[in-house]
Chains A and B, each alone.
Chain A
Amino acid sequence: MITDAIIANSPALLVMIPLIAAFACPFIGRISPAVRNIWVVGAMVLTAAMALLLAGEVFSSGTVVYTFGASAPGMSVPPDSGGIPVRIVFTVDAMSALMQIIGAITGLSIVLYSIAGDRRHTGLESYYTLYLLMIAGVMGMVSTGDLFNFFVFLEILSISSAGLIAYRIDRGVAVEAAVKYFVLSTIGAMVILVAIGIFYGEYDALNIAVIASRMQFTLLDQVALVLMIAALGMKCGAVPMHFWTPDAYSMAPSSITAMLVVASQASLYGLFRVVFTLYNVTLNAATVGWIIIVLGVLSMVVGVTMAIPQKDVKRLMAYHAISQTGYMLLGVGVGLAVLGNQSLLDAFGYVAMEGGIFHIINHAMYKGLLFLTAGAIFYRIGTRNLNRMGGLGHNMKYTMVFFVIGALAIAGIPPFNGFASKLMIYESVFMFNPILSIIAMVVSILTLASFVKVFHSIFMGPRLPEYADVKEAPAPMLIGMGILAAVVVLFGLFPGVVVDHLIEPAAQALVNQGAYISAVMGGA
């Protein structure tokens, strides 16, 4: 009976547990650091368990709707409201569930890593408070079915991320990166708020399902679409608006950088949700699809070419993160460009979208892993400058293995997960437009070249005298990295299972706008 209650309330618990844990963290932290660590890890384990429970529920029995403050969770439309969902509704479909799984796995491994990796710093109560708020922000953003609520969780995420980017002050450089991130996030959030205001003025509703069912694609809606794509594209680091990414990613503590990758992908989720669920076939699919494809191609090419000359290992990885975001935009953009044309959609559109969505989860895993390895190296030798590293393979064997797994995955080498999703993107995009596919492959080769260079300068070569007594990273950090590495390898070995059970339902959920609307509005 209690398990039924937990499953029924899992969408709320998913946000509630990290919030309570975060707010209690300053008190718990006064008892002792050990108790605080247990508290934070426990909260994260519970949150991850909720996310997996909820995802299991969604994948087995369809979209879950949770209405806050109603007399029953499923009562999204009150009987006396005239058929309008007036309350905040969480609508968790397969796409949301996929994002929650990403947040759960990455969040858990990061917190394990953080326990050891950040213990030498002061102010850890605030650090874990903000970290748990980030988790709550990501989980809320991907679950919510209400546009204004989406804005609120986006702000929770942005503010806590900005605080964490500035956490390691580093003679003011980190603070500068945080201010840059914060100003841009705030502008982006305000732009989104204007778009939400347009929808509210036009359709008298904030619920995504209601707006989607009334969508007419007037001039105002086009303005709102442009605002939404620009702001969310900025938040996910697509190229013309990418300039905050390298600063923020390189200056944040490594564990937070790995979480920022997930945060960017939550924004990417928001972009896809707006385009597919809110507008769907009402918009001019070919035009908007091509806009997203162009954003994707620009991100891929500019990201990787900027990455090659970098000297700072985390800055280099940040540019690669931009480049990989381009693949997701490309894959899903191709799916969008053929939306409404069922034969093309069946021929390659679905596969392209599945490739793009599969790349989201793969990217979160291997990029998180790479940032964590960079953090482990920084933890042991205290520099991020590639020119001052060398010969670390002698002392940090496990870190090296994890780095190799991550690097081969990002370059799209079998049998790692990056290969599976990139192959799906190459094949399907080739049928849409061969040139795009060729660009994607060239970018992948450049990525490999860049990571071979990085691998060589960090780990290869003779043992350097100044790093002669460097030790392997502590066990909790290795466990954190190990979880992500295991997922990278497993997804690469069994991509078919993952695509059939997780990715395909997610792609269907994005395309099938009617199912989303009827899940909230019911038969009414």
Chain B
Amino acid sequence: MKMSKIVRTGANILYPFVLIFGLYIVLHGHLTPGGGFQAGAVIATGVVLVIVANSYEAVTGMLQKVVFKAQESIGLLLFIGVAAIAITLGLPFFYNFLANSGSIFGLSVPFGPNHGDLNTAGLIPIMNIAVGIEVWGGLTVIILSMLSGLDRKEA
């Protein structure tokens, strides 16, 4: 079943904006409300939008379940792997060794009210990205699995 041309075009135009908005929430997770989980959910709703506007078959031709499954595992491995790096450095599990180190995400946060700098907080943004990847993949797999059971009769 297909929606009208207006809906399809609208969805196709909106899709990149939904993606960008989701990625924005991931990256600013340590500064603004939101974070990896919320961002992953936002991006997954973008996928739903495209599936609803177009037909299930047309979308699954491009978006394959196995890719999202892999994405889910990669996100989780990245999360736990980053936490585990600290142990190899002789520090406790989950120690934030990047914060205030001067390298990536390593600037120290100034005291008092300020605008917030993206390049701070050490491991926290990396873990947000990992969770974002995981939830994006996981929720999309759930959606694809649920929709695969639809009764696809021509309306």
Contacts and interface: CB of A to CB of B under 8 A. Distances in A.
Interface stretch (A11-19, A174-182, A225-233, A259-267): A11-19
A279 interface: no
Interface residues of A, number: 19
B63 interface: no
B69 interface: yes
A524 interface: no
Contacts of B90: 5
Given A66-B92, A69-B94, A20 B87 contact: no
Contacts of B94: 12, 68-69
Contacts of B69: 26
Given A9-B87, A16-B84, A23 B76 contact: yes
Contacts of A71: 91-92, 95
Contacts of A13: 87, 93
A73 B92 contact: yes
Interface in B52-100: 69-70, 73, 76-77, 80-81, 83-84, 87, 90-96
Interface majority SS on B: helix, strand, loop or mixed?
A: helix
A67 interface: yes
Interface in A42-97: 66-73
Contact of A27 (B73, B83, B95): B73
A352 B25 CA distance: 55
Nearest to A90: B93
Contacts of B96: 69
B15 to A, nearest CB: 27
B142 to A, nearest CB: 13
B93 A24 contact: no
B84 A20 contact: yes
* Residue with the highest number of chain A CB atoms closer than 10 Å, among B70, B81, B93, B94: B93
Contacts, number: 51
A27 B78 CA distance: 14
A70 B83 contact: no
Interface residues of B, number: 17
Contacts of B81: 20
A413 to B, nearest CB: 45
A24 B112 CA distance: 42
Contact of B93 (A16, A23, A26, A27): A16
Given A5-B87, A20-B80, A20-B84, A12 B73 contact: no
A26 B77 contact: no
A20 B80 CA distance: 7
Contacts of A5: 87, 90
Nearest to B79: A23
A37 B92 CA distance: 30
A70 B84 contact: no
B74 to A, nearest CB: 9
B70 A26 contact: yes
A24 B95 contact: no
A70 B70 contact: no
A27 B76 contact: no
A19 B93 CA distance: 13
A16 B92 contact: no
Contacts of A67: 92
Nearest to A75: B92
A27 B92 contact: no
A26 B92 CA distance: 28
B105 to A, nearest CB: 16
B48 to A, nearest CB: 22
Contact of A9 (B70, B73, B77, B92): B92
B92 A23 contact: no
B95 A69 contact: yes
A168 B18 CA distance: 38
A27 B83 CA distance: 20
Interface string A2-41: 0001000100110010011001101100000000000000
Contacts of A26: 69-70, 73
B92 A24 contact: no
A12 B93 CA distance: 6
Interface of B: 69-70, 73, 76-77, 80-81, 83-84, 87, 90-96
7 contacts: A12-B87, A19-B76, A66-B92, A66-B93, A68-B92, A68-B93, A72-B92
**10 nearest A-B residue pairs (beta carbon):** A12-B93, A23-B76, A69-B94, A68-B94, A73-B92, A23-B77, A26-B73, A19-B80, A9-B87, A23-B73
Given A12-B87, A66-B92, A68-B94, 13 more contacts: A5-B90, A13-B87, A16-B87, A20-B80, A23-B73, A24-B77, A66-B93, A67-B92, A68-B92, A69-B94, A69-B95, A70-B92, A71-B91
